[in-house]
Structure 1
């Protein structure tokens, strides 16, 4: 007689337990880290563009939003910041390239209960 067993898997509960649900712990960590790590790369005159990222981003949404009349121009147009060479266009892409492994490692720790 074969051994029989019943396997029940509640995917929703497993996702929630790991913090992987929408607006969950993992996404909140990723959003917060992206904003924090982008900050030194965002063009800055009076912090308005940087502040707009914090004000317009709902942490956990998975979307980082910089909303100023000039945000798009600063993101795509090349600029030269002699005093702060790390600041400039494509700040999010450059941040991802530099810190993606660090962000993913932190997200993995959170998902694994760390």
Structure 2
């Protein structure tokens, strides 16, 4: 009893002479899955911006706004586009005299504190 299998991009047919099984792909699968991934990515990006906000150094508020302006929510990349953003992130102190929560490495500090909450929220989508 030999097993015959025919495979095509649309699916597969497996037969042993008496029995036959047909496997077909759901044509909407890719579109639905991509839409789900896009919604999750938009959630993660917006949560990163929102949860980093209280940690970004604040003098005029432009550094924080540059994150909102420089980020295409859903792209998977959060960019602070102020010319001094890299300096503030990498070189300055992790705390400020006016607010101990604000300072350098705001994304890394946010990630340590709130990563699990963001992932749980994304899983609900």
**Higher RCO structure (Cα 8 Å, ≥6 apart):** 1
Q: Which of 57, 65, 75 is the matching residue for 2:71?
A: 57
SS in 2 for 1:6: strand
| Change beyond 3 A, Cα 1:15–1:45 | same
Higher strand share: 2
Match of 1:47 among 47, 61, 71: 61
Residue matched to 2:97: 82
After TM superposition, the score normalised by the length of structure 2 is 0.77
In the alignment, structure 1 residue 38 sits paired with structure 2 residue 56: no
Change in Cα spacing, 1:85 to 1:16, as seen in structure 2 (3 Å) is same
Asked which structure has the greater CA Rg, the reply is 2
Gaps of 5+ in 2: 1-16
Q: Which residue of 1 aligns with 2:121?
A: 106
User: Structure 2 vs 1, CA of residues 5 and 53 (structure 1 numbering), >3 Å: closer, same or farther?
Assistant: same
1:25 aligns with 2:39: yes
Deviation at 1:9, TM superposition (A): 3.4
Supply the distance in 2 between the matched residues of 1:51 and 1:94 (Cα, whole angstroms).
19
What CA distance in whole angstroms lies between the structure 1 residues aligned with 2:19 and 2:40? Answer: 39
Change (3 A) 1:86 1:6: same
**Larger % of helix: which?**
1
**TM-score, structure 1 length as denominator?**
0.84
